[in-house]
Amino acid sequence: MAAKKKKKKAAAPRAKKKANLNVVVGSKVKEAVKSHGVRCSGDLIEALNGKVLGLLSDAVARCNANKRGTVRPQDL
């Protein structure tokens, strides 16, 4: 009797990169807000992340405009 051939599994599709990278730590943001005696909205972390990404993008653009390869604090 012939042995059964194993079927090859289809390769799993590669995960697409997220359009937005998370650069803020949600638990730390919540902790900082809570230390001031107020609560944190669910949308706050996402909005803050967008602001930080914008700041970083502007800093990189300034760095490139100054023909440097290193982003420095003054670029912010």
pLDDT digits (tens, 9 = 90+) for 24-73: 999 999 999 999 999 999 899 999 999 999 999 999 999 999 999 999 99
Give φ, ψ of 36 to 5 degrees: -95, 5
Whole-number pLDDT of residue 4: 72
DSSP secondary structure letters along the chain: -PPPPPPPPPPPPPPPPPSS---S-HHHHHHHHHTTT----TTHHHHHHHHHHHHHHHHHHHHHHTT-SS--GGG-
The full set of domain ranges for the chain reads 42-76
- Residue 21: pLDDT band (50, 70, 90) is confident
